[in-house]
Structure 1
Amino acid sequence: MRDVTPLGGSPGVPPDPADSATAVVDDRGIVTGWSAGAEHLLGYPYDEAVGSPVTRLIAPDAGGGRNGLPTLNGPGTTVLLRHRDGRHVKVLVRAYPSVDHEGRTQRFLVATPSEQPPPDPVTADEAFAQCRLPVMVYDSALRAVRATAGAVRILGLSEERIRGRRVTDILPPHLCERIEDGMGRVLATGESQQFHVRGRARRDAPEKVWSVTVSPLVTPTGEVRHVEVSALDVTEQHLARERLALLNDISAQVGSTLDVMRTAQEMADVIVGRLADFVTVDLLDSLYRGDEPKPSTTSSVPLRRAAQQSVLPGVPEALIGLGDVDDYPEFAPPVRCLATGRSSLHGTQDEAIRNWRRADPERAGVVRRFGIHSIMVIPLRARGITLGVAVLVRHQREDPFTRDDLFLAEEIGARAAVAVDNARRYTLERATALALQRSLLPSRLSAQDAVEVAHRYLPARTRAGLGGDWFDVIPLSGARVALVVGDVVGHGLRASATMGRLRTAVRTLADVELPADELLTHLDDLVTHLAAEEDSTADHEPDLEVSTDLVATCLYVVYDPISRRCTAASAGHLPPAVVRPGSPPEFADVPPGPPLGVGGLPFETAEWELPPGSLLTLYTDGLVQDAGHDLGNGLEELLRCLGHPGSGPLETLCDELVRTLLPARPQDDVALLVARTRAFDAGRVATWDLSSDPALVADARAQVLAKLDAWHLPDVAFAAELVVSELVTNAIRYGQPPIRLRLIRGAALICEVSDGSGTAPHLRRARTYDEGGRGLLLVAQLAQRWGTRHHGGGKTIWAEFELTEPDS
């Protein structure tokens, strides 16, 4: 824009409209231009001012001239203008003639409040020079032009020495490169840049964090010839954000598992590189067993290394490995910290550290080799118990630890200690529950002839703890066997204890020889009574957290190797998988029934025949249902795995099922029971139908002796003959037809006498002059086991005799 002359003044350049109250008035006295400064001065918005007569803006007593404007003389004329709110504003107005785009004359008016003196360039220059903030001006060649007193103080150079030098001549390389790049972008684009840099402004200054702003300095013609660089020390704010972020990461990342050592390692991993260069975490040895920490009775305290981490690869500063024990002398800072529960901050020349180095030459060598200069020792305390200590070291970072760093480390130690203590408590509870559960589950399954079995029990590895899954194999009379799996809903000690009570009840009811549906009915009554007891406990002891939603599932299967038939009943449990030789696997159609403790519906039984070599697979839902797949997919995968079981070992099949169906860390307990059926051929069973004639007792004895002789079992002949004689006599005398005698040769010799009466005999002690009452006592003395089972056609009294020679 060419120079113009203000009316009555000397040539000059009009001020920037963005910084003044300016307006444009055409030759008719109409306002055609209106700046933001004018709006701020008089209150009229642009839309309201433009197009209106200029006389509207002039006070009535201001006088008028050409086109309604007062006569403007000299470098400026004082004029009273009218504000939008009605008050008068006294301003100094200067007018500049110009033409519009069509060549018509107009005036460019600049108004300044008369009470504001014009800026003093000398004062502005002094203000820049004396500014305490570090501000510098660079030209387009990126050379310093001006520097404030703050910049001089920070850089340690006078303004004369700074002037004409590039940033690369003043600042360290890692700082100046980023700043020069920012200045280049500002000169090219005219847009401000803001970024953070970290380092030392000069060699002897401490490391700080600076917020650097690079701004363009624009000439009146809009050209960027200079840039202004200002730096603000934001070290404290940056450190506060770093500390807050570190604490947040400690809370988010430490304690992701309930493993003591893993929790300690997570703490070390988060700290290294952000607060310390090398970290060790040592815990009391008792924590690894889940026990309560106990004070040491010796002069030294053994601490086991739970975690260590370093900024250097391979953690070369460590003297021991993970899991090893480090014996600290009683005067060492870690031991003092463990005893007092108070943290400490040390330099390597502190007396405590010097004494420690003298007592431990190997550790002193590490201090010298890596240049360790600052040490913090903090306790890991949770719920009033000191669990261990953490040692934080600096050797790569030159700045020593500060009191603020110590406070931060104490907060980190407190949060990490809670996570470690949670892991310790979980370890203790899990060990207790697992010991209880193992004591309640069968340690080994008793030998029997009906099936070959293999089993697996896998406890859950989650925060919820162990569940209430169980299994059992119960030998029954007549060479039969009962296969049982169950699941108590819930986790923890309560579920394990309830599981033990239910397993004991199932064994007791199985010994009574109850049918499967009746057994589950009695078991359901037991669960209902247990729930009522817990309700009563919760009412009388409200401070105890007693869960009263006691629910369980159970599957009870009985297999008879003689008839080769299975009978099963289910209380809300998943059906067993059945694989017959040469046939695809399938699930048995067992009516599910309600879970135990729910009640409301009767239990039903299902019965089917199994050829020898068939597979029965009983399991809990943890095997087929997980976060990775739903129940339907899990059941399909189970059948697929059972599609080609072959005749190999059942242990191998169990391993394959576990490996295929379960993740590395099961979310729920898993009980698995696999049985391969056997069958007794006709040569191992002898059956005689007897009439009610007492004279046939002798014939029955003779037939039994003959069969035992054919089976080469002379050792049990005498006892078996007496027992058979007694049982057959009782059946003829007190029972009802039909009467049947059966001998079964298996792992033991079994004698059974059945009749049509439902009345069961009872063992009693006969008095001196009683003529009877001694028969069952004789049976109990001669047989290894004996008992009575009822069935739809009456009852069966049985007795077992141990065989001295194994069955070949």
Structure 2
Amino acid sequence: MDRFARLAANVLDVPVALVALAESDRQVFPGMVGLDDALSVSREAGLAHSLCEYVVNSGGPLVVSDARADDRTRSGPVVAQLQVAGYAGMPLTDADGVVLGSVSAIDSRPRRWSEREVEALADLAAACSAELRLRIVSRQAEQARAETAALLARSELVLRAAEVLAATTGVEEVRRRVGELITSDLKPAYVGFSLEPALSPSLTGARGLRRAGQSREVEPGDGPWPTARAARERRMVVVDGAEEMRASYGPAAAARWDELGFASMVCLPMNGTRQTLGALAVAWDSPHAPGLGERAVLSAVSGYAAQALERALFLDERINVAKQLQEAMLTDLPTVDGLEIAALYRPAAEQDMVGGDWYDAYVLDRGAGPGGDGAALAVTIGDITGHDMRAATLMGQARSMLRQADHDHPHGGPVTAVTALESANTSLGTELSGTLVHAHLAPAEEGWNLTWTNAGHPAPLLARPDQTCHHLDGHNLLLHPGLSRPRTQQRLHLPLGATLLLYTDGLVERPGNDIGAGIRHACTLLHDGADMPLDDLLRHIADRVAGAAPGDDVALLALRVTAPPPASADGLGAGRSIHGT
């Protein structure tokens, strides 16, 4: 543009030439020659009563011999400011003929412009207009490419949302995935959602996901907050600034807004198939006006989030019921004189990994009658196949049937009870399968006699005083409908100070790790913990072997011989257990 100004100055032999473009309240000079330092730096001036304004408003050229004397121009402040006398200006137009500004030649003395000079200035204006049109087309092309790229990216975001949220299984995973999706594309300061309080008190509230990895709480869905309005009115709610927040939601909400550091927020309802589940909130810490494209993307994501959330709430409820059922089946341990008994159960870290792990311990009739083994106590550790509600239900059935089998066959040993369980399983068609160790303990001189049968389960570990820990071999086939091979049982003596550990495979089996190494580690800890209370020892073993986030349920049952057994069954009574500690 400066080149066009120089051409105009040289061709028309004037001290000042301008390429001026008119805006709403000012004129800017992308091309100039001959102006003072102040204007050459700012390249702008007021538009009102300017010579450029006259050209723009009239839509045609303005040619005057002396602008100071012409009625059309003499009142303009620019005439005095630039010491304009002779003036010739030609309009600059876009492709539609709209006048954008002017090319002007300015002389400080009165001047009569020749026809040739006016034509030359008109030719320069036409060339300059063509350049401006090229720039406009180029800018429009750049904007179109940017908008196309943005639309493509947001279309990809919607597709990712449909794919990613379809695979979520829990409420917390839905929260995290929604935050990751929106943050990666729209760059907000906060993404979260508030659930309706009626859904579940434990799930209410929003959890923010910030670029810096911090989290901030937003008011729950029933408070004076945009999320509440979005959920209640089932529509998008946009808040732009603290003043709008104060006017619409009150001073307390405005104070909370300032505390959070928000500048703009969009809240969208998450509408389920039967009810509104809550609202999705997206906030920025600098002013942000979401366009139609962003609003459409956020609406689509909130819809997918509602579907995922509804499914997750259903799954979470089923998992919670299964866990409650499973934990309700865990036994209150009996108190037995001469034995210390403790148990521990830890669910898998993954919420949907509800299994059929269980332990049991109960008092028996002490084998009165011919053939009785004199057993006073039965103990079991087991793992039913599966990780769902059905597995937890079958675990409860197996536990009850095995108890019943022990009491229906008072003169049989553990193998008799397990065989009866299998027979009932086949006859009733319960189709339970899995593994277990079932054992009877009977009083003996200076200790207890242990008789057990193992149906495909990890071998119990035994630590005896002054001896290394070892595992009790002797496996039979696992429990399965239709299996009829005879089972065997083993027997050994537990002296004073001996500690027996029964456990499920969640303690020692992890992907990529050697199960044998896990068993040896547990055995070493059992031997080294001879002086630890059993409750503490079980927690120690679970922490060190299974870790803080086990991939499968872990059930442990331990017995330690602390004194010679009582002479009668009067020493047997109710006791305690540990659940998930």
The TM-score, its normalising length taken from structure 1, stands at 0.48
User: How much does 1:589 deviate?
Assistant: 2.4
- Aligned pair 1:436/2:348, yes or no? no
Which structure 2 residues correspond to residues 257-656 of structure 1 after superposition, within 5 A?
A: 259-261=170-172, 263-272=174-183, 274-275=185-186, 276-288=188-200, 304-309=204-209, 321=217, 325=220, 327-329=222-224, 334-345=227-238, 354=244, 357-364=247-254, 374-394=264-284, 396=286, 400-442=289-331, 444-462=332-350, 464-476=352-364, 477=366, 478=374, 480-511=376-407, 512-513=409-410, 514-530=412-428, 532=429, 550-563=432-445, 564-656=448-540
Distance 2:517 2:380 in 1: 24
User: How much does 1:308 deviate?
Assistant: 2.7
- Aligned pair 1:239/2:239, yes or no? no
User: How much does 1:429 deviate?
Assistant: 1.3
User: How much does 1:345 deviate?
Assistant: 4.7
CA contact (8 A) 1:484 1:554 kept: yes
Question: Cα 1:468–1:279, aligned 2, differ >3 Å: closer, same or farther?
Answer: closer
The amino acid that maps onto 1:440 is: M
Map Cα deviations across residues 369-393 of structure 1 (whole Å, 9 max, x no partner). 9997754221123444321112334
Distance 1:371 1:566 in 2: 67
The amino acid that maps onto 1:667 is: G
Which structure 2 residues correspond to residues 37-56 of structure 1 after superposition, within 5 A?
A: none
Which structure 2 residues correspond to residues 73-84 of structure 1 after superposition, within 5 A?
A: none
User: How much does 1:343 deviate?
Assistant: 2.6
Distance 1:278 1:287 in 2: 23
Distance 1:493 1:579 in 2: 36
Distance 2:241 2:179 in 1: 22
Question: Cα 1:161–1:429, aligned 2, differ >3 Å: closer, same or farther?
Answer: farther
Which structure 2 residues correspond to residues 16-165 of structure 1 after superposition, within 5 A?
A: none
Q: 1:658 aligns with which of 542, 547, 550?
A: 542
The amino acid that maps onto 1:338 is: A
Which structure 2 residues correspond to residues 734-773 of structure 1 after superposition, within 5 A?
A: 744=568, 747=571
Query: How many residues were matched structurally?
Result: 432
Distance 2:213 2:475 in 1: 62
User: How much does 1:342 deviate?
Assistant: 3.0
User: How much does 1:455 deviate?
Assistant: 0.6
2:111 alignment partner in structure 1: none
Question: Cα 1:482–1:310, aligned 2, differ >3 Å: closer, same or farther?
Answer: closer
CA contact (8 A) 1:551 1:598 kept: no
Which structure 2 residues correspond to residues 704-743 of structure 1 after superposition, within 5 A?
A: none
Question: Cα 1:580–1:265, aligned 2, differ >3 Å: closer, same or farther?
Answer: same
The answer to which structure, 1 or 2, has the higher relative contact order (CA under 8 A, 6+ apart) is: 2
The amino acid that maps onto 1:283 is: L
The amino acid that maps onto 1:285 is: P
Map Cα deviations across residues 627-652 of structure 1 (whole Å, 9 max, x no partner). 25242222222222223222321111
Distance 1:611 1:553 in 2: 27
Map Cα deviations across residues 381-414 of structure 1 (whole Å, 9 max, x no partner). 344432111233445255x111221110011112
Map Cα deviations across residues 133-174 of structure 1 (whole Å, 9 max, x no partner). xxxxxxxxxxxxxxxxxxxxxxx9899669xxxxxx99xxxx
Distance 1:595 1:306 in 2: 46
CA contact (8 A) 1:426 1:463 kept: no
The amino acid that maps onto 1:409 is: L
CA contact (8 A) 1:468 1:496 kept: yes
Distance 1:657 1:446 in 2: 22
User: How much does 1:307 deviate?
Assistant: 1.7
Distance 2:569 2:182 in 1: 72
Distance 1:266 1:286 in 2: 23
Question: What fraction of aligned residue pairs are identical, expressed as a percent?
Answer: 24
Question: Looking at CA atoms only, which structure, 1 or 2, has the larger radius of gyration?
Answer: 1
Question: Cα 1:235–1:745, aligned 2, differ >3 Å: closer, same or farther?
Answer: closer
Distance 1:407 1:239 in 2: 13
Map Cα deviations across residues 233-258 of structure 1 (whole Å, 9 max, x no partner). 11112212331453456467769875
CA contact (8 A) 2:195 2:221 kept: no
CA contact (8 A) 1:473 1:483 kept: yes
Distance 2:381 2:249 in 1: 61
CA contact (8 A) 2:206 2:220 kept: no
Distance 1:408 1:605 in 2: 65
2:114 alignment partner in structure 1: none
The amino acid that maps onto 1:385 is: Q
Question: Cα 1:289–1:618, aligned 2, differ >3 Å: closer, same or farther?
Answer: farther
Question: Cα 1:278–1:497, aligned 2, differ >3 Å: closer, same or farther?
Answer: closer
Distance 1:359 1:619 in 2: 57
Q: Secondary structure at the match of 2:385?
A: strand
Distance 2:347 2:401 in 1: 22
Could you list the runs of 5+ residues in structure 1 that have no partner in the other structure?
Answer: 1-128, 130-155, 163-168, 171-229, 292-303, 534-547, 686-743, 749-783, 785-808
CA contact (8 A) 1:558 1:566 kept: yes
User: How much does 1:464 deviate?
Assistant: 3.6
CA contact (8 A) 1:479 1:746 kept: no
Question: Cα 1:431–1:560, aligned 2, differ >3 Å: closer, same or farther?
Answer: same
Q: Secondary structure at the match of 2:361?
A: strand
Q: Secondary structure at the match of 1:285?
A: coil
Distance 1:485 1:524 in 2: 16
Q: Secondary structure at the match of 2:153?
A: helix
Distance 1:509 1:313 in 2: 56
Question: Cα 1:746–1:312, aligned 2, differ >3 Å: closer, same or farther?
Answer: closer
Question: Cα 1:368–1:662, aligned 2, differ >3 Å: closer, same or farther?
Answer: closer
Q: Secondary structure at the match of 1:376?
A: strand
Q: Secondary structure at the match of 2:465?
A: coil
Question: Cα 1:525–1:662, aligned 2, differ >3 Å: closer, same or farther?
Answer: same
1:668 alignment partner in structure 2: 552
CA contact (8 A) 1:454 1:674 kept: yes
The amino acid that maps onto 1:561 is: P
User: How much does 1:485 deviate?
Assistant: 0.9
Question: Cα 1:487–1:415, aligned 2, differ >3 Å: closer, same or farther?
Answer: same
Say which structure is richer in helix: 2
Distance 2:250 2:558 in 1: 59
User: How much does 1:554 deviate?
Assistant: 1.8
More deviation in 611-620 or 376-385? 376-385
Q: Secondary structure at the match of 2:295?
A: helix
The amino acid that maps onto 1:307 is: R
User: How much does 1:358 deviate?
Assistant: 4.9
Distance 1:313 1:492 in 2: 34
Map Cα deviations across residues 296-349 of structure 1 (whole Å, 9 max, x no partner). xxxxxxxx422235568967xx7xx36x646435xx754443134333456569
CA contact (8 A) 2:460 2:501 kept: yes
The amino acid that maps onto 1:282 is: S
The amino acid that maps onto 1:472 is: D
The amino acid that maps onto 1:392 is: V
Question: Cα 1:415–1:630, aligned 2, differ >3 Å: closer, same or farther?
Answer: farther
